[in-house]
Structure 1
Amino acid sequence: QHETVFRRMIQLIKDVCKLVSRALQPPRNVRITSHNMDLVLRWDPPEGAASGLFYTTEYNTSVSVYKVGCLHITALSCDFTSLNHHITVYGQYTARVRAELGEEKSAWVESTQITMDRDTMIGQPNVSLISSKSNIEVSIEDPEFRISELRHAYNYATYNITYWKEGQEEKAESISNIQQNRVILDKLEPWTRYCVRVQINTQRNLNPSEPSSVTCESTDKESPWVAAVVTFVVMAMLVTLAVVAVVHRKKMSHFLCPKDSLPQHFKKHLLEHPSSSIYLAMRDSHPPEEVYDQVSVIAEGNPMEEERPLEAAGTNCSSQPETTVGQI
């Protein structure tokens, strides 16, 4: 009799083990995360999970019971901030998830607790640089939070700015505890390219933000506002000229194309051909022919005298006979 009872107990244990082994396995690696003040539960599917699994999630706070989150989803995450639930910056949250297959439901698997302002991962800030002579202005834009804003969530948030000459990051310099979102890096070398990276630090959140992308700019570049001012002045002048032209278009039209005309008898006098006798004679006349006679000059006396010096020849000029030139 005792042996029979013992065998029945063994069979019952085997049956229970079979039922347990056949039960739907719960999700694995359940964790709750926050990035830029969102609240997301993530998990991995059960080991050896069958196809067609669904999941249901719930969440609670330190002062409330569990509330329904995502129902019958196939995704492996649930974003509670997108469900119009009242998630607060300073709240403490826990979440859980279970697997579902038809009428079968697995056991709930609960995450650890998260405190939003303390545990959220702050994203990278956006950084832009403006060069002006030997200075570089660093402009910082905070990451966008899903709920609230950085400066509202953290009363004391500062920037850590690291900068270096391009290619010399091992010699980088840093400026810490900066609260302004515009900072001037001065005393830089002229005509040199510098690179900048920024991180955000808070007192409540012990983890610094993700570092910004590395941004580089060269010194001694003309500031873009100069070109903007020049463009503005040129555009203003063009608009002014256009307005003046529209307002005074009649006066300008009269000035450029006057309506006053010469008297009719003036036009007739200017357009008709000259008819004076002198003009007609000059127009029709031919140049007069030139009449001339050929003249020859013959010298008398000893031909050898022609070879004497001019001074000697000059003393006898009065003794030479006169030469007569024929009249024309």
Structure 2
Amino acid sequence: MKTTTIFSTLLIQVHLVCYGWSALPPPGHVTMDSVNMKHVLKWRPPPAPCSTPLLYSVQFQGEFELTVMDGIWVDSPECQDMTRTHCDQTLDLGSDSDYNIRVRARCASQTSEWAQLSPPFNRRDTLLTVPLMTVSAVGDALLVSFEQALLTASIEVEVWKHGNAPGQGRVFAVPAAEKLLHVADLQDRSLYCVRARVLMKEQLLSQDTQEQCVHVSGPHAPWKSPTTAVLTLLLMVGVAFSAVWCVVQCRTRRSCRNFQKEPLPHSLLHEGAAPIMPDELKEEVCIDVRVVSKDQRLQPGHNAHG
């Protein structure tokens, strides 16, 4: 009896050892990389050889699934039976609740256990990066522009005069849809500094940008204003047009000097408004004219009327 019990125990241990060696281990080092509200789950492949490509599947469980749907798990639509070791869950994690997330591997007919992310993830833990900021001075105002800003977050901008403490400056809020801030009515010939941070739902804050300081020239440099620039351009166009007109007129006068008209004879000139030829002479007059030679005129008894 004792021999049979010992043999059964050894058989069970051998079966467990063999099963443990043949089972596929779960993925390891499951982490969540969340930057600027983009959430990417990452993991490492299981430390076991596989003759076929390893396939991974991801599931998540939020507060709604846990409390209302009796703790069901939802498959990530874009992360089922895939070969990559990361999964973009930005669209899956749509609320500010805590999410349980897990991943498992499959090699041929073997499937590993689930490897769960610990602790649960909340998108409020995302890392907000500082915005790319550019500051320039235009007259007595500042233009602050931003690049690669979040579409769902606003930007808080602080402006102060150099020499004062940063906390004593003016604070402006740039909405998510805008990327440009115009700060007017600043003191001319002064140095102003600017820094900004990303603000999301009045809870998430990014780090501050490095402060940028620029000189405000004020109204002493009116050529920098857009209106003055337009007027200057119009003036230049007017000067160019006048120069072209002068060149054309000079060429015309030179042509007139080179090709002068001869004056009319005095017989054709007539003072007053009366016509040169009287009206009575305008009618056609016909007379008989006889032409004789000089010799015929000298003959005696020659009559001119013949």
With the shorter chain as reference, the TM-score category is 0.5 to 0.7
State TM-score, norm by structure 2.
0.58
SS at match of 2:230: helix
Q: Is residue 212 from structure 1 mapped to residue 209 from structure 2 by the alignment?
A: yes
Percent of matched pairs sharing the same residue = 19
Deviation at 1:42, TM superposition (A): 1.7
Aligned to 1:200: 198
Residues 61 and 102 of structure 1: CA distance in aligned 2, closer, same or farther (over 3 Å): same
Q: Is the 8 A contact 1:127 1:138 kept in 2?
A: no
Q: How many aligned positions are there?
A: 244
Counterpart code for 1:173: P
Q: Which moved more, 1:67-76 or 1:2-11?
A: 67-76
Deviation at 1:23, TM superposition (A): 1.7
Counterpart code for 1:98: R
Structure 2 unmatched runs, 5+? 66-72, 175-180, 265-306
Q: Is the 8 A contact 1:33 1:39 kept in 2?
A: yes
Q: Is residue 226 from structure 1 mapped to residue 224 from structure 2 by the alignment?
A: yes
Larger radius of gyration: 1
Residues 40 and 3 of structure 1: CA distance in aligned 2, closer, same or farther (over 3 Å): same
Aligned to 2:74: 66
Residues 59 and 40 of structure 1: CA distance in aligned 2, closer, same or farther (over 3 Å): same
Q: Is residue 75 from structure 1 mapped to residue 81 from structure 2 by the alignment?
A: no
Q: Is residue 179 from structure 1 mapped to residue 173 from structure 2 by the alignment?
A: yes
Structure 1 unmatched runs, 5+? 152-157, 267-328
Aligned to 2:55: 54
Aligned to 2:113: 107
CA distance, structure 1, for counterparts of residue 222 and residue 83 of structure 2: 51
CA distance, structure 1, for counterparts of residue 253 and residue 173 of structure 2: 63
Q: 146, 152, 155: which one pairs with 1:141?
A: 146
Deviation at 1:21, TM superposition (A): 3.1
CA distance, structure 2, for counterparts of residue 224 and residue 39 of structure 1: 49
Aligned to 1:13: 13
Deviation at 1:66, TM superposition (A): 0.5
Deviation string for 1:285-317 (max 9, x for gaps)?
xxxxxxxxxxxxxxxxxxxxxxxxxxxxxxxxx
CA distance, structure 2, for counterparts of residue 74 and residue 259 of structure 1: 90
Q: Is the 8 A contact 2:60 2:102 kept in 1?
A: yes
Deviation at 1:86, TM superposition (A): 6.5
Residues 263 and 212 of structure 1: CA distance in aligned 2, closer, same or farther (over 3 Å): same
Aligned to 2:278: none
Q: Is the 8 A contact 1:162 1:172 kept in 2?
A: no
Counterparts of 1:153-164 in structure 2, within 5 Å, are 159=156, 161=158
SS at match of 1:14: helix
Residues 187 and 26 of structure 1: CA distance in aligned 2, closer, same or farther (over 3 Å): farther
Q: Is the 8 A contact 1:131 1:223 kept in 2?
A: no
Deviation at 1:54, TM superposition (A): 3.4
Counterpart code for 2:144: S
Aligned to 2:153: 150
Deviation string for 1:18-43 (max 9, x for gaps)?
31233221122223343222222122
Deviation string for 1:188-235 (max 9, x for gaps)?
9x676x764322345653x42133245343455987971655543343
Residues 219 and 178 of structure 1: CA distance in aligned 2, closer, same or farther (over 3 Å): closer
Counterpart code for 1:42: K
Aligned to 1:29: 29
SS at match of 1:63: helix
SS at match of 1:107: coil
Counterpart code for 1:80: Q
Counterpart code for 2:209: S
